[in-house]
Structure 1
């Protein structure tokens, strides 16, 4: 690979065009009154009307599913002005979004289990982890989302080795008959932390178009985010927010040869070109360094569904995803790329599922086979010396085969039991049988429906390729992170219990959870090797048993005809069972609050969101702590008519921001003020 010149982020060719589109949308006028849905009571669909698939992989009413499932629907995503999956999930109670080490993105943490242990799916297909371990939620666009379903803990036998912490399943929108289209654009400012003179430091443009006929449908989506970045000290060289672009494009092609058979082909592509700047101090030298991230992900998905006359159905699914990532670290004073890392991840999956109704039973049987490969190569260059090539992961492969069975037993109108088994076979680690059982008792009262849920599950996760084979060489700044081929699989026991009350226009829920994890895989310093190499050497190892347990309280209630309240409270204990210390970056208390107000002005809705997190330790020794903080967001939507919606907002109103010189879990992004518009047909 040639390293004689530096790679700069490609110029965003559509930037000027994006400015014109943004200005053009705001210059439009409306002639008729709107009749769309932006008021809270319209957006809060009755739970019995919401269909979910994640707990059983068959459509079920959210009010009746035996596995606790949280849903973020398309209307909520639009009302929050979410530009990606990260922003769509930020107000889900009991869910944290944490920065991914060494990247600009964020991963999902559920019930104290980190992003490496949370399975992220799109229409049931896994999303590749951008670093080999955690899925970057900022790479997932929400342009065609119908809803997002969240299952916490190892509660379903239908998901495999990566779902020990839970499942986040993104369900894409299926087109309705006819033609539909929409275009949404927005732009905003970080105020004093803007980089450069452009007042609109961030731009977003998304568009979708669907055509549906009796036997076929076709859809297109596109999403582009461009940013100039931000800096908490504009007078310095360093920046904290990325500059460049993130782009998603995709197609949905559907064909129905018969009323009973549906075939869907879904190609998608993600691409990013990002730049951040840092200052590295290595006395007596101070180096200005550019970090460049170039990423592309190509996805192909094919599904076939067939409904048999007797009521059973068959689902076949194939997917292939190729991830290519390149990071560069360029010292400004040199004329060449000092350090470059290329990561190639290839993932293939095939699955089959058969659902068979037998009297008061719904039997689900299935199988899944997957292959996963990873190649990571680092190239270094020092002055005029020949380039040094370091293979960090040498084209390692993992192969798994899984069988699963689950039975939804409708004992009577009130009781449902759902036992399940999943047999996991890994080429390296052998077989593991994971049992799960869930139950729900539905009680009809004069004031509404009460659901009592209970679940027990066994989670299981084999070490990923990064944990087994990685060699992350940062010896030039004093450390290495090394894999460990002798790692053993993690396992967990998850317990969930809860009660839920559903009325016509309100909902309350109390949930208890407990996760006991054995052979937890984390990095730890290898002191003998550190002394031998005179570097800090960190190695992945099985060294801890962990416990996370707690309580979640959630509720939605209209306070009057114009005002509604959505609130969630989480209490969590997360402990290393060997040292008795708190696990880092897990707040004990968290409150997420939403207040929606429908103005007397027709079509205008204002929303206030708040996220409070208590103090949390930043290291396993419990000697470093992030103080408690609260983040406030304000959202406004004004529907001019059926076609036009204007919106605006302020994220992080009080500009709570982390100390970038310390380990700190407060937000990275400062106050962000924006405006936007949506046109739909």
Structure 2
């Protein structure tokens, strides 16, 4: 069954006119938009290096060079540039990811193949991941539990960092300013110092990065601020050695972040109540691997994360200590026309939570050493020929709290060689996925009264499960004599989730208090379905890309799930001026029609667009500069809307103007 027929089955009739117009527009670009057939190697779809065009799983790739043209700070803005990905700003002034209707708790974020998701299971904050040493980002849409276990229901994002390939040292600095700030004239700033070392078989890298942001305050007459002031520090060290048949590598990473945001003045007193988030995290990785050129390569990875966080209102702070340990091993057996990947994962995490008081001796333990552990085994077998590939895989997990879980998945690739310049590829996959409730969802007490809400855990939660189907049709063409290339792609997806965990507004409890109260619970069933249509055209020094995504996500009662826009459009135009070694980029993000929570009294705005433009120039071998404007037309949330309980989909940040320079010493 093609992705078009799958689409026609589940798209609402009232939307079909728009869908077919968009589809026709994309397909009529047959001769106008293109991308060269790529021999680029990817690893996320099969856990082994594989040519992008030969992968039976659709993988979207963003190279580090392109990534840093979009953002020079964190990956939050860069991922919002990628097709099929929704990035949402959280009420805690962080950024979370959504894919195919699944939120950040169900999209697994990896760094070099191992989890970066918060050890307690909360969605990873994309604004806590630096772009400074990223080689590329690979995104796999759809069920990924067979290869990656729990929390990979909506897909996998793998952030692949650089390994020291040559000796170099570089310094980057950036200065930025927001419009419409009623108080303060401070600039947002960031700096990074990055070095790499390569000496025979010895390699290493080090990176330091600091980011400061003054936050936003649209009305200086009020105490409340619209976004938090923040300071971030990143430090990363990696060192390794290549031996004749194996490579050994050690990596250490340190991250700290402090956010503060004024909320209100205490009646009758001079003091202020403010929101505080103070995070400190250490991460250690050890990796042993054979050379991928060996007949049957293997690898072992160990990761340890210690995460300490103090957050909440200044008169009601809570401290959480989170630890995470994982040992991941795999081996590959390769034959003439088949490949088997198998491995095992040992996992353990724990969570402690204290309610803090002015007198440390009176601190109250709200959660004392909650723990969970698991043992997981997986295997995936691939059969392939020059034009086809079939994969089948399975995973079993024994969880200390929830017993046995399993997932099966099969996928296939069919390639139609239309000519030496053109080919059509059909990828399809069907598979199971699961997610065990996290320690936070079961035990944590999210007291953010100063932000106007509270979320309560539920010890009776059951594990989630889903059956998902993806179908992707891709057409590639390359016309080298005209310096043109084209790619058009249609992806349809459908997921039937059972015991889906979600937070719901508790109107009874909220009515008895001055804040909104939400509770975690299993909503029984949810259906998530949608379509992505994209096209990319490259001719000489021009590149044009367009993507349209439709999503309909509902629970078993037909109620739409929140924070998921019906429609999203992403488009960009890039041009290279070879004479001056200058690159220009214009990109647009548009979203509309989210479900409005029952907690709102009305709607201020349910659509928004962000137009962004930047220029980048390399001068000689050592010096480069970058400047641009984010949110060119200054669309941002009405600062009065929240107080009036009106829904406003627009982002908090106003127009931002920035300039950065980079100098390479060696």
Confirm or deny a common fold (TM above 0.5): yes
The corresponding residue for 1:232 is 218
Kindly indicate whether residue 505 of structure 2 is the aligned counterpart of residue 515 of structure 1: no
Kindly indicate whether residue 231 of structure 2 is the aligned counterpart of residue 245 of structure 1: yes
The corresponding residue for 1:262 is 247
User: Deviation of residue 234 (structure 1)?
Assistant: 3.5
The corresponding residue for 1:585 is 563
Aligned partner of 1:628 among 588, 607, 626: 607
Kindly indicate whether residue 534 of structure 2 is the aligned counterpart of residue 550 of structure 1: no
The structure-2 alpha-carbon separation of the partners of 1:622 and 1:71, relative to structure 1 and needing over 3 Å to count, comes to farther
The corresponding residue for 2:428 is 454
Residues 552-606 of structure 1: CA deviation (Å, up to 9, x unaligned): 0111102x5343211111111112222x122222111111000112237521221
Q: Is the 8 A contact 2:168 2:197 kept in 1?
A: yes
User: Deviation of residue 125 (structure 1)?
Assistant: 1.4
Kindly indicate whether residue 89 of structure 2 is the aligned counterpart of residue 99 of structure 1: yes
Matches within 5 A, 1:304-323: 304-307=288-291, 311-323=295-307
The corresponding residue for 1:492 is 466
The corresponding residue for 1:373 is 350
Aligned partner of 1:189 among 171, 177, 184: 177
Once residues 291 and 528 of structure 1 are traced to their aligned partners in structure 2, the CA distance between those partners, rounded to angstroms, is 26
Aligned partner of 2:390 among 410, 417, 423: 417
User: Deviation of residue 214 (structure 1)?
Assistant: 2.1
The corresponding residue for 1:597 is 575
Once residues 460 and 488 of structure 1 are traced to their aligned partners in structure 2, the CA distance between those partners, rounded to angstroms, is 11
User: Deviation of residue 45 (structure 1)?
Assistant: 8.8
SS at match of 2:217: coil
Residues 233-284 of structure 1: CA deviation (Å, up to 9, x unaligned): 23433222322311111011111232x20011010000112221122798x9
SS at match of 2:147: coil
Q: Is the 8 A contact 2:183 2:218 kept in 1?
A: no
Once residues 407 and 45 of structure 1 are traced to their aligned partners in structure 2, the CA distance between those partners, rounded to angstroms, is 30
Structure 1: unaligned runs, 5 residues or longer: 1-43, 331-337
User: Deviation of residue 339 (structure 1)?
Assistant: 2.0
How many residue pairs were aligned? 619
SS at match of 1:134: coil
Once residues 288 and 621 of structure 1 are traced to their aligned partners in structure 2, the CA distance between those partners, rounded to angstroms, is 27
Kindly indicate whether residue 373 of structure 2 is the aligned counterpart of residue 432 of structure 1: no
User: Deviation of residue 297 (structure 1)?
Assistant: 0.7
TM-score normalised according to structure 1 size: 0.86
SS at match of 2:295: coil
SS at match of 2:105: helix
Residues 20-78 of structure 1: CA deviation (Å, up to 9, x unaligned): xxxxxxxxxxxxxxxxxxxxxxxx99553321110111111112111111111111112
Q: Is the 8 A contact 2:172 2:661 kept in 1?
A: yes
The corresponding residue for 1:566 is 545
The corresponding residue for 1:86 is 76
Once residues 230 and 598 of structure 2 are traced to their aligned partners in structure 1, the CA distance between those partners, rounded to angstroms, is 35
Q: Is the 8 A contact 1:175 1:210 kept in 2?
A: yes
Once residues 185 and 672 of structure 1 are traced to their aligned partners in structure 2, the CA distance between those partners, rounded to angstroms, is 16
User: Deviation of residue 172 (structure 1)?
Assistant: 0.6
The corresponding residue for 2:650 is 666
User: Deviation of residue 673 (structure 1)?
Assistant: 0.3
Matches within 5 A, 1:352-391: 352-380=329-357, 389-391=363-365
Once residues 616 and 513 of structure 2 are traced to their aligned partners in structure 1, the CA distance between those partners, rounded to angstroms, is 59
Coordinate RMSD, CA, aligned: 2.6
Aligned partner of 2:369 among 378, 385, 395: 395
User: Deviation of residue 285 (structure 1)?
Assistant: 9.5
The corresponding residue for 1:151 is 140
Kindly indicate whether residue 612 of structure 2 is the aligned counterpart of residue 638 of structure 1: no
Q: Is the 8 A contact 1:156 1:420 kept in 2?
A: no
Q: Is the 8 A contact 1:494 1:515 kept in 2?
A: yes
Residues 455-478 of structure 1: CA deviation (Å, up to 9, x unaligned): 011110000001111223467998
Once residues 184 and 298 of structure 1 are traced to their aligned partners in structure 2, the CA distance between those partners, rounded to angstroms, is 24
SS at match of 2:468: strand
User: Deviation of residue 539 (structure 1)?
Assistant: 2.7
TM-score normalised according to structure 2 size: 0.88
Aligned partner of 1:575 among 554, 560, 563: 554
Structure 2: unaligned runs, 5 residues or longer: 1-33, 479-484
Kindly indicate whether residue 323 of structure 2 is the aligned counterpart of residue 351 of structure 1: no
Q: Is the 8 A contact 2:145 2:151 kept in 1?
A: no
Once residues 663 and 349 of structure 1 are traced to their aligned partners in structure 2, the CA distance between those partners, rounded to angstroms, is 41
Q: Is the 8 A contact 1:47 1:61 kept in 2?
A: no
The corresponding residue for 1:615 is 593
Once residues 507 and 596 of structure 2 are traced to their aligned partners in structure 1, the CA distance between those partners, rounded to angstroms, is 21
